[in-house]
Amino acid sequence: MIDWLLEPLQHPFNQRAILAALLIGFTNGYASAFVVLKKSALKVGSLSHALLPGIAVAILVAGLHEWSAFLGSLFAALLIGLGSLAVSRGSRLDQDSALAILYTAAFSGGIILLRRIGVNQEMEEWLFGNIMGLRNGDLWTNFWISFGALGTLTALHRPLLMTLFDAEVAATLGVPVRALNYLLMAVLIVVLISSLQAVGCMLALGLLVTPAATVYLLTDSTNAMFWGGSLLGGLAAVLAVLAGWWLNIEQGPLIVLVLGLMFLIAFLFGPKYGLLARSKRH
């Protein structure tokens, strides 16, 4: 029994996957608090789907390399995000509607393009993740992205919160509200991209929203949302990687499923905001 439990730790690819899951889950868990507080989950989800066409174009132009998918997806997400803003400012359409049109069209084009250039196997991995395929270079990339994202968000924690809770008051105090909003969105995009190999484009939103949303049902503390979300995201990702090995289940969908089950437990049994607690009070 002990040998069976410890078996995943004996393989280098599993060790890389566990370390990557911890990094990606922790970083996404911390960033998820900003998504929940900003109430921008659907907007971020649209950008996660916009990553696929960028990957397709990057492969077509530069070939399939370690950095081509990252740079291509980054360019596509920024282009779709800024494009939706330009459309909303230049027409009667609101940004959410413009974003929905642009990302669905781009996502469809990305699928067609990837199939035309013959990367069907890789396409499935980008859609749903393949954390077991991580190489040492990918692990270092995730480390530096996590280090940069966490460093930026913690260094600007106070002004970012001021911007999220009351932008007008923050502006009167000299906080560069618009610049911080753009910076936050850019960091969230980079964090999304870092989770591509773990959960893919289709499931990245779950990893970037669920941890802090779960903690939000358990506490009123803002700090708990950040650090609790981090711990929850890292723990769920590591547990899913191990359980996926033991049960022979794809780890990417399992990461999001484990987080979803944790959210369900908090929703039902939370001591203050859980469904059962609220029904007892009423």
The answer to whether residues 242 and 18 touch, using CB atoms and an 8 Å cutoff, is yes
Per-chain mean pLDDT for the chain = 83
Work out the percent of the chain whose per-residue pLDDT is above 70.
91
Mean pLDDT, range 154-180, rounded to an integer:
87
Tell me, what's the pLDDT at 121?
59
The answer to whether residues 188 and 208 touch, using CB atoms and an 8 Å cutoff, is yes
Please report how the helices 222-247 and 12-38 are oriented relative to each other, as an axis angle in degrees rounded to 10. 150
Tell me, what's the pLDDT at 264?
93
Q: Is the pLDDT of residue 23 over 90?
A: yes
Q: CA distances (Å), 107 to each of 26, 111, 112, 172, in order?
A: 28, 6, 9, 40
* Position with higher pLDDT, 260 vs 169: 260
Tell me, what's the pLDDT at 3?
60
Q: Is the pLDDT of residue 112 over 90?
A: no
Mean pLDDT, range 201-214, rounded to an integer:
88
Q: Is the pLDDT of residue 5 over 70?
A: no
Tell me, what's the pLDDT at 120?
62
Phi-psi bin for 191: left (phi > 0), alpha (psi -120 to 50), beta? alpha
Q: Where are the domains of the chain?
A: 9-275
Tell me, what's the pLDDT at 29?
93
3-class secondary structure for 104-169? HHHHHHHHHHHHHCCCHHHHHHHHHCCHHHCCHHHHHHHHHHHHHHHHHHHHCHHHHHHHHHCHHH
Rounded to an integer, what distance in angstroms lies between the CA atom of residue 144 and that of residue 122? 24
**CATH superfamily ID and name for 9-275:** ABC transporter involved in vitamin B12 uptake, BtuC (1.10.3470.10)
